[in-house]
Amino acid sequence: MKPVKVGLLGLGTVGTGVVRIVEGHQEDLASQVGSPIVIEKILVQNKNKARNIAIDQDKLTEDPWDIIRHPDIDVIVEVMGGIGLTKEFILEALALGKHVVTANKDLMALHGPEILAKAQENRCDIMYEASVAGGIPIIRTLVEGFSSDRINKIMGIVNGTTNFILTKMSQEGASYLDVLKEAQELGYAESDPTSDVEGLDAARKMTILATIGFRANVALEDVSVQGISSVTKEDILYAKRLGYEVKLLGIAERQDDLISISVQPTMVKQSHPIASVNGVFNAVYVYGEAVGETMFYGAGAGELPTATSIVSDLVAVVKNLKLGVNGMQGSLAYKEKKLKTDDQISSKYFLLLKVADRAGVLARITQVFADFEVSLESVLQQPTPSNPEAEIIIITHDANKAAIQKVLATFESLEVVHKVKSVYRVEG
């Protein structure tokens, strides 16, 4: 049996995991695809670097073109990260008729349509399961499992770092900055955590999921993004008191072919399954017209969970190769993208206000909501001892985003409202 030869771009944490699985599971892989899968060449930055895995030195190269233009290599596995040069390598590989498996969410979020078009043009496969939610097979599920259904909503915890931070704040009453420091010490957060904590990483993943789920080319700039750096212990305490957990959720919704995509801290009812997803774990909740509600849960990162998704993609490519059906997936994004306006985006909201503690204030505030046709589900007012302020907690019924923005703008000019401390979307 002629082996299928693979070129691996990158030998970091995930690349090492790919080598471990491919070399350690040869019998299982060969039984699935009908031939051995061999890692022929591996791109590294330094061939002489000490490694925690035994690798034939002859397989290592510091020149990416040794792999991309190698005549015997059938599949390129990209785990080096980055955008500019990596995009060039992948487009060249596809132009040469090589199939590509990548874990690069940044690349697929920003340049997915161009890369998918190049793959289709050259009858090549481009697989990117590991770009979202690590070991959870969510992309293949959306592409294949929901191929006969119509997805109306995708809601997920797709960033483990922020979920770890919010879980610690909820369970231990710790402050955001203290938990962020711990996450950095444990290696869950980078020294510059901006991409994670400001929601950018989750936004890239939601761009990919929304594109697949709604069959339209969603761009990163279509995603409304808010991170968790302003979430306080007080917010989480109030949420728990009202029966909610605070989670950074990516939410993509479709109604009458109009779509909206956002990433934001959200209050989730404690009875909702996604509220109990803690630590660095990820979960994606999918609402289909036919199947109803489904949830996919698992490790969102790490050497072996991510590597498992990559090798699963590799197996799918090799099976297609054996059947002669590479590049016949068809266009995933064949629908026109129509984005909702703010007055078409609707949800419940939680608001925490610091107000003057005197008669008539609550009536004045509720009148503002009435002026913009926002109805209220619950209102809780409590005085703060030895302070001339009171706190008012409000949860609205479903209200459109534009109306809530008008309410907030009015509060800014209202003398009795000293501060709008917190505003969160409410789910579940």
Cα 215 → chain centroid: 17
Are 142 and 210 contacting, i.e. CB atoms less than 8 angstroms apart?
Answer: no
Cα 146 → chain centroid: 19
- Residue tagged active-site, from 87, 118, 205, 340: 205
205 a catalytic residue = yes
- Name the strands in the sheet holding 99-102, side by side, starting at the edge strand that comes first in the sequence: 60-61, 37-43, 4-9, 75-78, 99-102, 126-127
Residues near 361 by Cβ (< 8 Å), separated by ≥ 6?
355, 390, 416
Are 68 and 91 contacting, i.e. CB atoms less than 8 angstroms apart?
Answer: no
Joined together, the tokens standing for residue 346 give: 């609707």
How would DSSP label each residue in 190-256?
-SS-HHHHTTHHHHHHHHHHHHHHHTB---GGGEEE--STT--HHHHHHHHHTTEEEEEEEEEEEET
Cα 89 → chain centroid: 25
Least Cα distance to 80 among 53, 55, 107 occurs for: 107
Residues with catalytic function: 205
